[in-house]
Amino acid sequence: MCTQRQVLPERKARLPLMLHISRVSRMFPIKLKRYVRCVLGLCLVAANGTVLLAQPVAPLFPDTPANRALVSESLEVYWQADADYGKFITVNDVRMHYLEWGDATGVPLIWSHGYAHTGFELLGVGPQLAETGYHVYAISYRGHGQTNVDDYQFSLSHIADDIRAMMDKLGIERAVIGGLSLGGGVTTAFYENYPERTLALVLEDGGADPVQSRTERMFGTYAYKGSRPHKELRFESRFTAFQALAHAYMPSWGGELPTGAAPAFHSWIRATDNGEFVPHFDGPRMLGEGPAAYDPARGHELPLLAQSWRRNHPVITYRNLNVPMLIIDPTGDKIDLSTEYAKLKALHPGLIRLVEYPDTPHVAHLTRPDWFLRDMRELLKRLSTRNGHPGNARIREEQ
């Protein structure tokens, strides 16, 4: 059964959510040289147990009144979004958190976030997707955000099972399944296990290349990082935790916070009972740590989630693809997967649409929301032509 999250009594009246998100995003004036820090397709903040967050952060996000106001206001937006759109549903003995936009007239879209993110990564585009004609469910899968677990013996396929169970409980026969980065891996695992429950697929810079092959190619470049010791991060305040996230992510975003990013940061910060603030996820228990996390020959030593991700091979999974697919390739990411994406498209040129986003970092929908919404609208049109308005979708043309 799904439950609506209650509003905390101390929260005050707020601006309309999207206006408030836009206001918060404009408050960030820092301009930085653009670069992308990723390892094997995942930001270093995730892949190496959050080592990046341990580096000095003040130069990128100084302690100023403006930045403190940004953190405070974006926290209010996060709370309001969770109150308005946040729900829980119990699937396979896991109490899973998700955000929901839209209604039963829309085409179901179930979105899986990138590793170390949460469903709040879709906050900047979720309402617009609903207006386009989707009924959006942005899940926070096992071990992330408010979806807490004690048992870390789970794989991509276990998360796919959770999505299937969610669909059963909510009465969703088929859905568009999509995700970013590792969430793309979840998407591929879902299709491998439940192709009959899939209307279409969206792979945003993840799930469309063989990860083990990528690990082998890049081992020489990133092997040294495996010698970095894992450091358990604890912060004295929410602001300093936010500083660390800003330091890790903003360089790849051109020195600015995209719409929806600042509130999403708060979903990645967890307050402890003793007043400290810590990351919301346990990296070593999901993707591992040390040299094995980067060594293509030592995948068997890693947690089950990492093992299943390494074994993701879309050319095999999608060999009999029979639904439309959208692949988003942000070419500003230093990890060039365009050749692998092209190989997958060549298998089913009539079903797979491959779209490049020039000069765009890994989290493409945050930095190019207009492009993302354009391509998601086009996918709806393809579904309408193919299936005759699946799920009574409301397909709205741009004015």
Using alpha carbons, list the distances in angstroms from residue 332 to 7, 18, 129. 39, 27, 24
- In this structure, the chain runs to a length of 399
CA angle 334, 351, 308 (to 5 degrees): 55
Strands, E assignment, the chain: 2-4, 38-39, 42-43, 86-91, 94-101, 107-112, 134-140, 175-180, 198-204, 269-271, 277-279, 325-330, 352-357
CA angle 331, 337, 339 (to 5 degrees): 110
Where is pLDDT greater, at 200 or 389? 200
Does domain 2-392 fall into CATH 3.40.50.1820?
yes
pLDDT band at 163 (very low <50, low <70, confident <90, very high): very high
pLDDT at 371: 98
CB-CB contact of 117 with 268 (8 Å) = yes
Q: Which token pair is 107?
A: 């085409």
Q: Which token pair is 216?
A: 């082998």
In angstroms, the CA 198 to CA 289 distance is 34
The number of CA neighbours under 13 Å toward the Cβ of 349 is 2
Name the pTM for this structure. 0.86
Ramachandran sector of residue 392 (left: φ over 0; alpha: ψ -120 to 50; beta: rest): left
Mean pLDDT, the chain, whole residue set: 84
In angstroms, the CA 256 to CA 159 distance is 32
**In the chain, % of residues over pLDDT 70:** 80
Phi, then psi, of 134 in degrees rounded to 5: -100, 150
Give residue limits of the domains in the chain: 2-392
pLDDT for 300-317, tens place per residue? 999 999 999 999 999 999
pLDDT for 16-51, tens place per residue? 454 445 444 444 333 322 222 332 233 333 333 333
326 has pLDDT over 60? yes
pLDDT for 333-351, tens place per residue? 888 899 999 999 999 999 9
Neighbouring-strand partners of residue 288: none
Mean pLDDT in residue range 211-218: 91
